[in-house]
Amino acid sequence: MMTIDQAALSQIASAYAAAWSSRTPDAVAAFFTANGTIAINGGELLTGRAAISEMAAGFFAEFPDLQVYCDDARGSGSHAIFVWTLEGHHVETRNHVKIGGWEEWDLDSEGKVMASRGWFDAAEYNRQISAPEAS
């Protein structure tokens, strides 16, 4: 089993957040192995960089000013958790959205994500998108 040290994991997590903040779908997908997977809130399992890039592009379309911050990263062996905050304005409602979540990662020997299971409070996310903005 591969073990990733905390310094390397912190670097990967910070770079991953920066890739999301770059609003470049292929930059996000590049953190995954060729056949890497991601599932969000137990939903559809997306497999491969093309599918992951397409998923990221959907977030970028929804939030043209998307920023993702790395709040924490912890690991044990080849497993890690990436804790994040997403912030931006929804393209249709223009509402400011700020939501936290995490991804559970299985990493390969090069620090690429083989599998990610992402979680966030979908009800709160939808509330922030649809709620009238306070004046």
The domain of 29 spans 6-130
The structural domain count of the chain equals 1
Q: pLDDT of 27-51, one tens digit each?
A: 999 999 999 999 999 999 999 999 9
Q: What is the CATH number of the domain that holds 27?
A: 3.10.450.50
Q: What is the pLDDT averaged over residues 51-80?
A: 96
Q: Which of 83, 116, 114, 103 is nearest to 1 (CA)?
A: 114
Could you tell me where the beta strands, DSSP code E, fall in 60-124?
67-76, 79-89, 96-107, 113-120
Q: Scanning the structure block, which residue is given the tokens 């912030």? A: 87
pLDDT of 135: 47
pTM of the full predicted structure?
0.93
Q: Please report whether residue 37 resides in a domain.
A: yes
pLDDT of 2: 61
CB 107 within 8 A of CB 113: yes
Distance CA 6, CA 11 (A): 9
With b for 16 or more beta-carbon neighbours within 10 A and e for fewer, the 59-71 pattern comes to bbeebeebebbbe
